[in-house]
């Protein structure tokens, strides 16, 4: 397995992430898709739908947080052993601007991968045509559950 953040992964690891993502009911319910999977880096996209908004028509903070949490979780998962699972321990998110655009894109990036705990940086941006605006940043801690296949 590649260890440099952002490097390509073995197809088996990519499939393991894709299969796990496909089992996430919330991501399916929201309409989120897995856009990119690399070592320690995952991108999740969420297209705009009125059902995902708050009262002012912006993406709801809950949807923003959900895709950020998922992107970070799977970024960590790319570096975990095959016979393990991932769970979020905590995450903190700062909302920077209202989420408005054609879609949100969440990027989870591993900052430090440990034997048990992994820390990820989270970013969410809104895309409208060629324009990109920051929506949220955050940090997350995840636990590797060894011997508990996903």
Task: State residue 3's pLDDT score.
Answer: 64
Q: Give 105-124 pLDDT, tens digit per residue.
A: 999 999 999 999 999 999 99
What is the residue whose two structure tokens read 């880096």?
41
Provide the CATH number for the domain around residue 61.
Answer: 3.10.129.10
Q: Tell me if 4 is assigned to some domain.
A: no
What percentage of the chain reaches a pLDDT higher than 70?
98
Alpha helices in the chain (DSSP H): 11-22, 25-30, 61-77
Q: Tell me if 2 is assigned to some domain.
A: no
Count Cα neighbours of 29 within 13 Å in the Cβ-side half-sphere: 6
Q: Tell me if 5 is assigned to some domain.
A: no
Mean pLDDT on 28-36: 98
């Amino acid at each position: 397995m590649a260890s440099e953040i952002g490097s390509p992964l073995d197809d088996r690891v990519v499939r393991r992430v894709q299969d796990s993502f496909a089992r996430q009911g919330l991501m399916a319910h929201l309409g989120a898709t897995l856009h990119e999977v690399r070592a320690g880096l995952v991108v999740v996209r969420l297209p705009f739908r009125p059902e995902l908004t708050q009262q002012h028509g912006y993406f709801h903070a809950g949807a923003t947080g959900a895709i950020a949490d998922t992107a970070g979780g799977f970024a960590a998962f790319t570096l975990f052993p095959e016979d393990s699972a991932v769970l979020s321990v905590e995450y903190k998110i700062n909302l920077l601007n209202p989420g408005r655009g054609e879609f949100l894109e969440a990027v989870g990036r591993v900052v430090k991968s440990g034997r048990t705990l992994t820390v990820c940086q989270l970013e969410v941006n809104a895309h409208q045509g060629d324009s990109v605006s920051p929506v949220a940043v955050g940090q997350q801690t995840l636990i590797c559950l060894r011997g508990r296949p996903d």
